[in-house]
Amino acid sequence: MPTTLLQSDLPGLELLHRGKVRDVYALPGNRLLIVASDRLSAFDVVLPDPIPGKGEMLTQISNFWFGKTGHLVPNHLLHTPLGEVLPAGTDLALYDKRAVVTRRLKPVPVEAIARGYLIGSGWKDYQATGAVCGIRLPAGLKQAQQLPEPIFTPSTKAAVGDHDENVSFDAVVAAVGAELAGQVRDATLTIYKWAAAYAAERGIILADTKLEFGTDEHGKLYVMDEMLTPDSSRYWPADEYQVGISPPSYDKQFVRDYLETLDWNKKAPGPRVPAEVIERTAAKYAEALRRIADIRLD
């Protein structure tokens, strides 16, 4: 049975950050304990109702991909058993599938996005300018069309409540230097291409994905945070894919569709969500985990 956790409570550990989804604690030895809660954010607002088991599913999907891509790009996972780091008396079952011990890295201040298809903000920018993040694309492309080749389309990390903004590769160079910018771009495209090919064999299109990177005290680059989850990526069932329309995806579409029916200004606090919408969303995450990683959490 999946567990439900809206907010972690680990007395004795130093809470560094409570994000939209994850609670991040400091551990000795320059390490972190990252706990994925069942919080759901939509339009960048955290909703009051948890999606039971969502944090477990996100963590298991990330761990799956970190394992699969570790030979391509080093990642932040340390594989320390949780029993060694959780405070005495913690319910291990509640944290077992949703928490990981990682290296504590210095975040590279950019959302590293790879796109193989023209959708979302990429589609919007293309319609307005014929380019995405300064990368000029062929004329006449349609919504959701596959690009001639995957492109790196970075955006700035916005503070809670703000929306991210697409930027050019040159802006990343200006922010972090040419060498690191190039490393981040190459690692992002390498992971995207590998994962897209893997998903394609399973009847799933990986349209795009957002990665986060960090460096250690020697400047070595690691991919961190979450990897190739339905929250950070657009997965489309290949058999429902059609150029010209926005395909259904394994993400928060049920919740977003529901919220669009409300008279809500998309600002905190978010509204309550009916049980049926919560159940259907949880089922979508479970389906993504099963189809992508062949993992069942029951």
Ligand X SMILES: Nc1ncnc2c1ncn2[C@@H]1O[C@H](COP(=O)(O)OP(=O)(O)O)[C@@H](O)[C@H]1O
How far is residue 83 from each of residues 76, 87, 145, 297, measured CA to CA in Å? Answer: 19, 8, 47, 20
Give the 3-state DSSP-derived string for 244-263, with helices as H, strands as E and coil as C.
Answer: CCCCCCCCCHHHHHHHHCCC
Q: Is the peptide bond before 269 cis (omega within 30 degrees of 0)?
A: yes
Query: In this chain, which stretch among 18-26, 64-72, 147-155, 172-180 interacts with ligand X, using CB under 6 A?
Result: 18-26
CA distance 239 to 5: 34
> Under the criterion CB under 6 A, does residue 22 sit at the interface with ligand X?
yes
Q: Would you state the torsion angle of the CA atoms of residues 270, 44, 287, 233, taken in this order, to the nearest 10 degrees?
A: 170
Contacts with ligand X by CB under 6 A: the residue count is 18
> Under the criterion CB under 6 A, does residue 17 sit at the interface with ligand X?
yes
Query: In this chain, which stretch among 103-111, 175-183, 187-195, 252-260 interacts with ligand X, using CB under 6 A?
Result: 103-111
Options 54, 97, 98, 104; binder of ligand X; rule CB under 6 A: 104
Query: Smaller CB distance to ligand X: residue 45 or 147?
Result: 45
**For the residues of 113-155, what is the DSSP string, one character each?**
EEEEE--HHHHHHHHHHSEETTEE--TT--TTPEEEEEEE--E
Query: Smaller CB distance to ligand X: residue 115 or 210?
Result: 210
Query: Smaller CB distance to ligand X: residue 13 or 205?
Result: 13
CA distance 247 to 197: 19
**Residue 132 β-bridge partners:** 135
> Under the criterion CB under 6 A, does residue 116 sit at the interface with ligand X?
no
Query: In this chain, which stretch among 102-110, 184-192, 234-242, 260-268 interacts with ligand X, using CB under 6 A?
Result: 102-110
Residue with CB nearest ligand X?
A: 19
> Under the criterion CB under 6 A, does residue 184 sit at the interface with ligand X?
no
Query: Smaller CB distance to ligand X: residue 20 or 291?
Result: 20
Query: Smaller CB distance to ligand X: residue 143 or 232?
Result: 232
Shortest separation between residue 20's beta carbon and ligand X, angstroms: 3
Pair 212, 176: CB distance under 8 Å? no
CA distance 292 to 229: 10
- Subset of residues 214 to 253 that bind ligand X, contact rule: CB under 6 A: 214, 224-225
Residue 57, Cβ neighbours under 10 Å: how many?
30
Shortest separation between residue 113's beta carbon and ligand X, angstroms: 14
Query: In this chain, which stretch among 79-87, 104-112, 181-189, 259-267 interacts with ligand X, using CB under 6 A?
Result: 104-112
- As a whole number of Å, the end-to-end CA separation of the chain is 5
> Under the criterion CB under 6 A, does residue 163 sit at the interface with ligand X?
no
Nearest residue to 278 via CA among 75, 51, 17: 51
Shortest separation between residue 24's beta carbon and ligand X, angstroms: 5
> Under the criterion CB under 6 A, does residue 24 sit at the interface with ligand X?
yes
> Under the criterion CB under 6 A, does residue 210 sit at the interface with ligand X?
no
The 8-class DSSP code of residue 207 comes to E
Binding site for ligand X (CB under 6 A): 17, 19-22, 24, 32, 34, 76, 102-105, 107, 212, 214, 224-225
